[in-house]
Structure 1
């Protein structure tokens, strides 16, 4: 069981044949999947599914699933846009609400949504994505704390975004680059939601002057730099997810060694879709149907440490204590994200990286 990362090496481009079976199937719009026995899913590095859940889908559909993982979700979208005339696969999972409009506007996707999609799930796709992308999971991108580090060093843990610019927290924080990482862009949007379009750059200048480190991917920030991941990192404040503390629970299940700063969050929604120009569009539609099925949705928390889009799925018992969603995550209107995303990333780069 991995925390937002697959067994594949992070950042690598992998083509992974999974399991083969025979038979036939149809997508929810009634189209046949018998034209090809292979369907390729393009996804980010953190995609994961239980072997038995995938095997059941392959047996029922008669499809063999292959996976292509170009990197983090930000890299994924960049690759989808660059290769739209010769797509990397048939279906995609992992495009999120911070980058989705860019891919949609570039014509990356064919229109498709499962016919029987629960209206509560469909509601996670704003109007500009409806009918094109299908919500699969959701979660809050938040800063995480290594609670043991703060106790050991007798330092009061930070609680707010403003705290991170204080001298007591100099050189303690690692975040990810919004140009290459969807959690990084989500956190940038959190600061825009918190400080407004006139104040966020000044806030980031304060973080820069207080020694914030910028990693290129979530995996690097969490597993290389974060001291709470148990991998030798040196920084006790890292950008991750509100669900991450459920991964660091003690063996007896009573405590966690990390916690999420729930006043620093931005809500992320991840989508699936059918790629325009796919070699196996019927298989792609069946795969999107599978990602919204009860079986896959129930598998999401344990495999990817995200909340399933389906609100009826039973969550792990310890999530109420260790992985709650934020009561009031920061928000930026989807239309504003679409209109200003590239501009904001350029301004962030000039301010923080130089």
Structure 2
């Protein structure tokens, strides 16, 4: 089930999740580590700015995560329809079950890549690619040949080698039920007795928001002290589920009044009776920026066509529609968003994130140390 359809369903009623006791790291088998929690109206295909016809025959093969494409109302389906309306080339999406790791293994084994672009890579995954392949190029440089890449927000750029270009970003925050709890406002308050047994989080090894929240705590407390902070959260009965979907289910069921989620939550939940139960909380006035990027495979069969498609993704019309359908924020400075965003989507006063250089050589060790500590409690 796609994320937007899922939210329509759970707005009516959700299936129960086991009641929380002590710390639990629960594997639901969901495997969906993609991001989007809300919904807004979608701009029409006629807003696209591309009016050229590609001479390439393709098809253009795009690997991504499964909720990015496939149904009406997804960013990938909008991109496919809009692109194919103005080009002779078809777009074929695929969703490898192991994400970018599948292409790491193919490259190691000398197997064919069978894709031109990868859509949905984040900073930590790019670090993993480079460390795993140790100089062997999985992706090649894009930025120098992409019109519109200069409009990408500087603080969202994830790749010092200009292979992966951001196309949207979300901000990790708390979402809380203000009829039950107050906004903790700080990391220290979140670990205090007042918030014992209130927080739902996600597994940093299997979930994008879970990993981003972990990195946020490392950014706040440093590599030397973040495990001490997590020990306090464990003692405060934090509940860790496998991914965003089961944790959000538990939140909607009222099992806990607070969940690690996204600051665009109210774009979907903004009715008068829903707003109090979907408040956005930025700890220490911060939110963790988690950009998603597109990269071209070094072995792409259609490298020029792939570059043209990336240019298309960075047009104002595409940026608007990607943001709306993923319920994230655009990566560029020029895209305009629907009115709902001005009222209900929040950017933190101080966005924080780790750069590629800061994560290189560290992110896997940090995550593994976190997993050992959480799993033993």
Q: Same fold (TM over 0.5)?
A: yes
Contact 1:98 1:268 in 2 (8 A): no
Counterpart check, 1:207 vs 2:233: yes
**Who is 1:16 aligned against?**
none
Residues 238-264 of structure 1 deviation map (CA, whole Å, 9 limit, x = unaligned):
111111222211179x94631221225
Matched position secondary structure for 2:366: helix
Kindly tell me: are residues 104 and 128 of structure 1, through their superposed partners in 2, closer, same or farther at Cα, counting changes over 3 Å?
farther
Distance in 2 (alpha carbons) for counterparts of 1:11 and 1:284: 28
1:275 aligns with 2:297: yes
Aligned partners of 1:324, 1:138: CA distance in 2, in Å? 12
Is the 2:176–2:280 Cα contact (8 Å) retained in structure 1?
yes
Work out the number of aligned pairs and report it.
322
Name the structure 1 match of 2:251: 226
User: Per-residue deviation at 1:100?
Assistant: 2.2
C-alpha contact (below 8 Å) 2:146/2:308 kept by paired residues: no
Alignment of 1:1-354 (within 5 A): 2-3=3-4, 11=31, 25-26=53-54, 32-34=55-57, 36=58, 38-47=59-68, 48-49=74-75, 51=77, 53-70=79-96, 76-84=99-107, 85-87=111-113, 89-105=115-131, 106=133, 107-113=137-143, 114-121=145-152, 123=154, 124-126=156-158, 128-130=160-162, 132-148=163-179, 150=180, 155-222=181-248, 224-227=249-252, 232=253, 234-250=255-271, 255=275, 257-263=277-283, 265-354=287-376
TM-score normalised over the length of structure 1 = 0.80
Please give the alpha-carbon distance, in whole angstroms, between the structure 1 residues aligned to 2:334 and 2:116. 29
Does the residue aligned with 1:315 lie in a helix, a strand or coil? Answer: coil
What is the TM-score normalised by the length of structure 2?
0.75
Uncovered stretches (5+) of structure 1, i.e. residues with no partner: 14-22, 27-31
Runs (5+) with no aligned partner, structure 2: 9-28, 34-50, 69-73
1:77 deviates by: 3.1
Q: C-alpha separation between the residues in 2 aligned to 1:63 and 1:241? A: 35
Partner-residue secondary structure (3-state), 1:248: coil
CA distance in 2, matches of 1:338, 1:170: 34
**Separation in structure 1 between the aligned mates of residue 6 and residue 53 of structure 2, nearest angstrom:** 30
Task: Supply the RMSD in Å over aligned alpha carbons.
Answer: 3.1
Using the TM superposition, name which of 42-51 and 300-309 deviates more.
Answer: 42-51
Cα deviation code 1:142-177 (max 9, x no counterpart): 1211334x1xxxx43422222222233233222122
Give CA deviations for 1:112-136 in whole Å, capped at 9, x if unaligned: 2353124231733245242x11110
Q: 1:20 maps to which residue?
A: none
CA distance in 2, matches of 1:64, 1:262: 42
SS in 1 for 2:63: strand
Structure with the larger RCO, 1 or 2 (CA within 8 Å, 6+ apart): 2
Q: 2:122·2:158 contact (CA, 8 Å) conserved in 1?
A: no
Looking at structure 1, the residues matched to 5 and 355 of structure 2 have their Cα atoms a distance apart, in angstroms, of 26
Deviates more, 1:38-47 or 1:334-343: 38-47
CA 1:127–1:276: 2 relative to 1, 3 Å: closer
Distance 1:243 1:352, change over 3 A: same
Q: Secondary structure at the match of 1:235?
A: coil
